[in-house]
Amino acid sequence: MLFVDGTLYALVNDLRLAIVELSDTSLELSFLGEELDYASRPAGGRFMLGECGGEVLLIIVDNSETMVCHVFRWISAEERKWVMITSLGGRTLFLGFHGFAACIGPDCPGIRGDYVYAAGPRLGEWHEYSLADGTCNVRYAEYPGASPLNNNYLSDLQSGSSPACVNDRLKVFLGAL
C-alpha cells in the first residue's frame, strides 16, 4: 500500500490498482481500471507500488540474470491503465530489499537521474539500473569489516577477470555454504 496526495492505494493480484478506504470496522477496495489477465502480465519477480512527483508508479523488478526494472505510470484519466515509462523527469527511484523506499528530485548531487537504485541480496551490494537504456551496474559499498566475498568480487573484476569466471567462483563459494 502507498499514500499519494492523501489517497491510499493498493496493488491487488500484482497489477490491479485499487483505492483503499478505511473505517473503524472495515476496509473497502475500489478497483481502478480493468482486471488484467495473467497472460499479458510483464515478466518479473517483484511487483511494488511507488510514487514519484505525485504520480503512482508500478515498479517491476526481475532478477533472473541481471536486474531489469520496468516502471509504469498510472494514467487515471479516461484510459485508467498502466503505461510504461523510460524517464522520471530526471528523478531517481530507490528500492530497498523489500520494496519501494524513495524518489528524489533531479538536483541531488552524485545521483543519476532516470535511474533505479536497488539494494542487492548481499550486504553492501546495490544495483544501478538505467531506465533510458536498460543497462545495469552492480556496485559494492566500501566500509570497515566488509564481507570478503564482496571484496574478492571487486578485486577480481578490477584485476581483469571475466564476469563469467567471477560468477563461476561465486557459485562454487555459495554452493559450499
**Where do the domains of the chain lie?**
2-141, 143-177
SS3 assignment, position 172: helix
pTM: 0.76
Q: What is the pLDDT of residue 145?
A: 76
b/e map of 2-12 (b: 16 or more CB within 10 Å)? bebeeeebebe
Virtual torsion, Cα 122, 108, 9, 60, nearest 10 deg? -40
Q: Where are the beta strands (DSSP E) in the chain?
A: 2-4, 7-12, 16-22, 27-31, 46-52, 55-62, 68-75, 81-85, 92-96, 99-104, 115-119, 125-130, 136-140
Tell me the H-state helices in the chain: 148-158, 163-176
Task: Identify the residue with better confidence: 130 or 172.
Answer: 130
Q: What is the pLDDT of residue 133?
A: 95
Task: Identify the residue with better confidence: 168 or 72.
Answer: 72
Choose the weakest-confidence range: 84-88, 130-134, 151-155, 164-168.
164-168
Task: Give the C-alpha separation, 86 to 73, whole Å.
Answer: 10
Burial of 13 (0-12, 13-18, 19+ CB in 10 A): exposed
**What's the distance, CA 26 to chain centroid?**
31
Q: What is the pLDDT of residue 176?
A: 43
**What's the distance, CA 102 to chain centroid?**
10
Q: Which of 162, 150, 85 lies closest to 123 in space, CA to CA?
A: 150
Per residue in 6-45, pLDDT (tens digit) is 899 998 876 789 999 988 899 899 998 776 556 656 666 7
Edge-to-edge strand list for the sheet holding 2-4: 2-4, 7-12, 16-22, 27-31
Q: Phi and psi at residue 30, in whole multiples of 5°?
A: -115, 110
Per the listing, cell 508508479 goes with: 57
- Using the predicted structure, report yes or no on whether residue 65 has a pLDDT greater than 60: yes
